[in-house]
């Protein structure tokens, strides 16, 4: 009996070993070395095997991005909460189906399709075939090809870090290898679902003083400024972080940029989005953080003592010709220098660089060189060192509140003395006119995107020096408090044809808006407050002070104001397409807004709100965001308007309480409408309502249907719960153009809208999170909770003098509707 048991025991043991050996024979692709692919192994789409880096941060394998049906070989973060791809091998030659093989062939790593046709290869010349080759995924995400007996980085036969797609990882170099002539640069994906080569690239130019450029095909869209020893002078958004170190190397062997992580529990990557923006994205404790976004400031300017080289070109927003001197230099005694502080250095394409001399010697060389335009340090550390001299036109200059560096501009004595007579006007920007990407948009007549932010360089007083010098603005009336020009009432009367009814373009609770034409042909929008308006001097001054300090592409631009006897008037840029509601809720106009246009408008509004909440000089709560307070320019770029009811928050302030509830019913959050509590999350709620209105083409206010939904929010929530989200979409979106109709994208936006209108303010996302969700389909969108319903119905419009009482959705420029909720 004991022998029988021993026989069974040995039989079981033999069977187990046999099964184990058979598994190895049948499935040879599964290797003990999880991060190495040997010559006897392969990866296929069907066996679903991956290679994982030491430490488990990165993974190599096959994937399908988003809704795509095509397969790619790539590397992604394994530990981040959402799919984040950092490298793609066959980005322009995808596998058409789930059949593909990655293996080693001689000394190359090759990717074959279902017919064994070569799709991608490391493309090396034949090496030493006597030594075996392995492919290894390193801990830093670098896929390398090496001889099995050599793990020295200098001995790598090939590495993915030399052939990036849209991502720069820590320890990876971006720039030029001067020994091999290799240029390592980023190129965007075509879209979030398509990793093929996109339109935008991020490259280092090294002709004189190295700096990075963002290119759209062959057109420069943005310039980083040169490395100043700490950061690139034009990228003020590069934040000093205790867990990240920036490094720029310029020597005989290489000129490259890289960054390192000092805390290995924090992950980060620099990536170029399909729309051309550069983002430093970081993960900490599985939370995603947008470290910085670039560019934030894409406008060019002329500085003191200079003027546009081709005035006619600058008049139509084409400043590519640059700026030239007003007064010719004497090239003898008398010439001097005007110091610009906190400056992004001009375009360094044509400069003279000498890193061996100090700033005083640099000054002497510039004075002795008749062609010298300006000079600066090459390195700002330790008081400054090195010398860079400009000998041509000065292009693409910026001024920042704190960062940047000093630039010394050479001026003739006459210009220096003229500057002294005019006081301590820094004389930086005499007109914000040229923008690289604006020029491209103007050529394409397309809706502007690609950059998330546009913050002007100066206060409006400096920005509008040119306008202030015109006869219809009074220099004497300009005040430091208002920080923008005061216009004389006579000039406004002439511009509006004495406030002619034929010039009226809008009317709201606080007065009438007129279109006007200044004597030089400039079109303006004139908001004339009613003499009986509830908006008194305090509200008027509040709006002036706020908007005069706010400059962003997605905020309406205030040009000036007028206070004369009992007249209170605001002068704005004229926007040809008036307000969003005039299209969205108009049956004859709504067909003009296809899905792509609505998506871009939504993105613009989100970026504008993010600027108000986080990136402006003040934290501002708008409190009256709605469709009629979003204006559209000729490119259909959205502009948030109406800051009369806005409130400034301190940086450490999260919410406030008021007894005077202002805003518009249907857009107010429950906690604000019922308890007077408002915060950034109140604006998020209003944004969510507006987003769902844009998708559905229906108002939240005055909503009725056969299901007796309380409002649009209830209707959308019911359809979302039933899995019928697309049924609430405006039929015009579906019918207008099949090429722009993106069902998954629309459903994602509905989900974001519902997140924004959740009842609890603490459940709603911040606008920074909303912008990220819009900008990346790989960002996880949480499941929403039920929306908040504002059930109070007793609303009284305070201003009963308006001719369009109860209709706050008329065309308007910076129109304000003030309502009070009787919260019982």
Q: What share of the chain is helix, strand, coil (3-state, %, to 5)?
A: 25, 30, 45
Of 682-686, 741-745, 815-819, which has the strongest mean pLDDT? 682-686
Q: Please report the DSSP string for 319-373 in residue order.
A: -TT-EEESS---SSTT-EEEEEEEEEPPP-SSEEEETTS-HHHHHHHHHH-TT--
Domain 165-295 classification at class level: mainly beta
Fold of the domain built from segment(s) 581-821: Transferase(Phosphotransferase); domain 1 (1.10.510)
pLDDT in tens, 715-758: 999 999 999 999 999 988 886 555 567 888 999 999 999 999 99
> pLDDT at position 464, please?
27
Give the percent of the chain with pLDDT over 70: 73
Residue 220 DSSP symbol: E
> pLDDT at position 283, please?
87
Q: What is the mean pLDDT of residues 204-213?
A: 83
> pLDDT at position 558, please?
84
User: How far is it, in rounded angstroms, from Cα 335 to Cα 325?
Assistant: 13
Domains of the chain: which residue ranges? 1-27, 31-163, 165-295, 299-444, 473-573, 581-821
Binning pLDDT at 50, 70 and 90, where does residue 320 land? Answer: low
> pLDDT at position 449, please?
28
> pLDDT at position 817, please?
32
Greater confidence, 570 or 509?
570
> pLDDT at position 14, please?
47
pLDDT in tens, 148-159: 877 666 678 999
Instruction: Please enumerate in sequence order all residues whose Cβ is within 8 A of that of 804, keeping only pairs 6 or more positions apart, or say none.
Output: 507, 508, 810
> pLDDT at position 122, please?
93
Q: What is the mean pLDDT of residues 695-712?
A: 74
Greater confidence, 788 or 806?
788
> pLDDT at position 198, please?
93
Q: Please report the DSSP string for 14-44 in residue order.
A: HHHHHHHHHHHHH-TT--SSTTEE-TT-EEE
The answer to which of 229-243, 308-322, 661-675, 729-743 has the lowest mean pLDDT is 308-322
pLDDT in tens, 456-508: 222 322 322 222 223 333 333 333 344 566 788 888 988 898 898 889 988 76
Mean pLDDT of the chain: 77
Q: What is the mean pLDDT of residues 273-288?
A: 83
Q: What is the 3-state secondary structure of 100-151?
A: EEEEEECCEEEEEECCCCEEEECCCCCCCCCCCEEEEECCCCCEEEEECCCC
Q: Please report the DSSP string for 394-457 in residue order.
A: B-S-EE-SS-SEEEEEEE-HHHHHHHHHT-S-----S---EEHHHHHHHHHT----S-S----S
> pLDDT at position 23, please?
46
Q: How far apart are the first and last CA of the chain?
A: 89
Of 165-169, 289-293, 555-559, which has the strongest mean pLDDT? 165-169
Greater confidence, 6 or 599?
599
Are the CB atoms for 756 and 764 separated by under 8 Å?
A: yes
pLDDT in tens, 497-551: 889 888 998 876 677 899 998 877 788 999 888 765 555 666 677 667 777 777 7
Residue 477 DSSP symbol: T
- Please state whether the peptide bond connecting residue 600 to the residue before it is cis, i.e. omega within 30 degrees of 0: no
Q: Which CATH number fits domain 473-573: 3.30.200.20, 2.60.40.3080, 3.40.50.460, 3.40.50.620?
A: 3.30.200.20
The answer to which of 325-329, 693-697, 773-777 has the lowest mean pLDDT is 325-329
- Residues with catalytic roles: 624
pLDDT in tens, 70-112: 999 999 999 888 889 999 999 999 999 999 999 998 889 999 9
User: How far is it, in rounded angstroms, from Cα 409 to Cα 169?
Assistant: 38
User: How far is it, in rounded angstroms, from Cα 221 to Cα 232?
Assistant: 16
Q: What is the mean pLDDT of residues 796-800?
A: 31
> pLDDT at position 770, please?
94
Task: Tell me, yes or no, if the two domains 31-163 and 165-295 fold the same way.
Answer: yes
Are the CB atoms for 695 and 719 separated by under 8 Å?
A: no
Nearest-CA neighbor of 787 among 733, 750, 814, 745? 750
Greater confidence, 791 or 216?
216
> pLDDT at position 446, please?
31
> pLDDT at position 315, please?
52
Cut 0.75: pTM above it:
no
> pLDDT at position 794, please?
34
Q: Which CATH number fits domain 31-163: 4.10.1240.10, 3.40.50.620, 2.90.10.10, 1.10.1380.10?
A: 2.90.10.10
> pLDDT at position 538, please?
63
Binning pLDDT at 50, 70 and 90, where does residue 808 land? Answer: very low
> pLDDT at position 405, please?
87
Q: Is 504 labelled a binding residue? A: no
Neighbours of 743 (CB within 10 A): 13
Give the percent of the chain with pLDDT over 90: 33
Are the CB atoms for 510 and 534 separated by under 8 Å?
A: yes
User: How far is it, in rounded angstroms, from Cα 514 to Cα 125?
Assistant: 72
User: How far is it, in rounded angstroms, from Cα 47 to Cα 535?
Assistant: 70
Per-residue pLDDT at 688 exceeds 90: yes
The answer to which of 157-161, 197-201, 643-647 has the lowest mean pLDDT is 643-647
Name 387's bridge partners. 354
User: How far is it, in rounded angstroms, from Cα 75 to Cα 79?
Assistant: 12
CA-atom Rg of the chain in angstroms = 31
> pLDDT at position 128, please?
58
């Amino acid at each position: 009996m004991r022998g029988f048991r021993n026989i069974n025991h040995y039989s079981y043991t033999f069977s187990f070993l046999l099964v184990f050996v058979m598994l190895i024979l049948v499935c040879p692709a599964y290797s003990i070395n999880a991060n190495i692919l040997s010559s006897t192994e392969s990866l296929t789409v069907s066996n679903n095997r991956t290679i994982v880096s030491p430490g488990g941060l990165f993974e190599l394998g096959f994937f399908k991005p988003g809704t795509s049906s095509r397969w790619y070989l790539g590397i992604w973060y394994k530990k981040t909460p959402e799919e984040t791809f950092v490298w793609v091998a066959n980005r322009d030659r995808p596998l058409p189906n789930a059949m593909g093989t990655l293996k080693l062939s001689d000394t190359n790593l090759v990717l074959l399709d279902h017919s064994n046709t070569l799709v991608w290869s490391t493309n090396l010349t034949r090496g030493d075939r006597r030594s075996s080759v392995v492919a290894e995924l390193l801990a830093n995400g670098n896929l390398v090809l090496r001889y099995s007996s050599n793990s020295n980085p200098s001995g790598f036969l090939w590495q993915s870090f030399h052939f990036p797609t849209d991502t720069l990882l820590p320890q990876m170099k971006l720039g030029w290898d001067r020994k091999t002539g290799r240029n390592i640069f980023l190129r965007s994906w075509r879209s979030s679902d398509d990793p093929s080569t996109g339109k935008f690239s991020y490259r280092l130019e090294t002709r004189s003083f190295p700096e990075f450029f963002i290119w759209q095909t062959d057109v420069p869209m943005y310039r980083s400024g040169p490395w100043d020893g700490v950061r690139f002078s034009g990228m003020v958004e590069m934040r000093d972080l205790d867990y990240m170190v920036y490094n720029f190397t310029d020597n005989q062997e290489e000129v490259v940029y890289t960054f390192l992580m000092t805390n290995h529990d924090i992950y980060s990557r620099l990536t170029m989005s399909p729309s051309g923006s550069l983002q430093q994205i970081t993960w900490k404790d599985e939370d995603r953080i947008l470290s910085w976004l670039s560019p934030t400031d894409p406008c060019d300017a002329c500085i003191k003592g200079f003027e546009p080289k081709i005035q006619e070109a600058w008049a139509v927003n084409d400043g590519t010709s640059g700026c030239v001197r007003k007064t010719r230099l004497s090239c003898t005694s008398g010439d001097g220098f005007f110091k610009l502080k906190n400056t992004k250095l001009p375009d360094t394409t044509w400069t003279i660089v000498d890193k061996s001399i100090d700033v005083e010697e640099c000054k002497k060389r510039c004075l002795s060189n008749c062609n010298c335009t300006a000079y600066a340090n090459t390195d700002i550390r330790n008081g400054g060192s090195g010398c860079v001299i400009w000998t041509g036109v000065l292009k693409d200059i910026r001024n920042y509140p704190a960062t940047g560096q000093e630039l010394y501009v050479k001026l003739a004595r006459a210009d220096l003395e003229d500057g002294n007579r005019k006081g301590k006007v820094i004389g930086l920007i005499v007109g914000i006119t040229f923008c690289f990407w604006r020029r491209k948009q103007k050529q394409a007549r397309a809706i502007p995107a690609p950059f998330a932010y546009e913050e002007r360089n100066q206060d409006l007083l400096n920005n509008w020096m040119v306008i202030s010098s015109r006869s219809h603005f009074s220099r004497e009336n300009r005040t430091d408090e208002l920080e923008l020009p005061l216009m004389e009432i006579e000039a406004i009367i002439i511009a509006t044809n004495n406030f002619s009814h034929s010039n009226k373009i809008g009317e709201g609770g606080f007065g009438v808006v007129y279109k006007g034409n200044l004597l030089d042909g400039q079109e303006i929008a004139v908001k004339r407050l009613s003499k009986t308006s509830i908006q008194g001097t305090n509200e008027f001054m509040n709006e002036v002070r706020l908007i005069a300090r706010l400059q962003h592409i997605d905020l309406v631009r205030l040009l000036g104001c007028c206070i004369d006897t009992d007249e209170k008037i605001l002068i704005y840029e004229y926007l040809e397409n008036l307000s969003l509601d005039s299209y969205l809720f108009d049956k004859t106009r709504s067909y003009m807004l296809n899905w792509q246009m609505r998506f871009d408008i939504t993105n613009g509004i989100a970026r504008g709100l993010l600027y108000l909440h986080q990136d402006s000089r003040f934290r501002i709560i708008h409190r009256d965001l709605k469709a009629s307070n979003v204006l559209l320019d000729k490119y259909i770029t959205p502009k948030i308007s109406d800051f009369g009811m806005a409130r400034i928050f301190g940086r450490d302030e999260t919410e406030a309480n008021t007894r005077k509830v202002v805003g518009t019913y249907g857009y107010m959050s429950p906690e604000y409408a019922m308890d007077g509590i408002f915060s950034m999350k109140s604006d998020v709620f209003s944004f969510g309502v507006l987003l769902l209105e844009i998708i559905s083409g229906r108002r939240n206010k005055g909503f009725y249907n056969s299901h007796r939904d309380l409002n649009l929010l209830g209707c959308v929530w019911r359809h979302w719960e039933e899995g019928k989200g697309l049924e609430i979409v405006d039929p015009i979106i579906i019918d207008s153009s099949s090429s722009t109709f993106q069902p998954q994208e629309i459903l994602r936006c509905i989900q974001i809208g519902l997140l924004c209108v959740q009842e609890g303010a603490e459940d709603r996302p911040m606008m920074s999170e909303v912008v990220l969700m819009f900008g990346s389909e790989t960002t996880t969108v949480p499941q929403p909770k039920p929306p908040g319903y504002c059930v109070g119905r007793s609303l009284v419009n305070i201003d009963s003098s308006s001719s369009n009482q109860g209709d706050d959705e008329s065309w308007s420029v910076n129109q304000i509707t003030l309502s009070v909720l009787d919260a019982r």
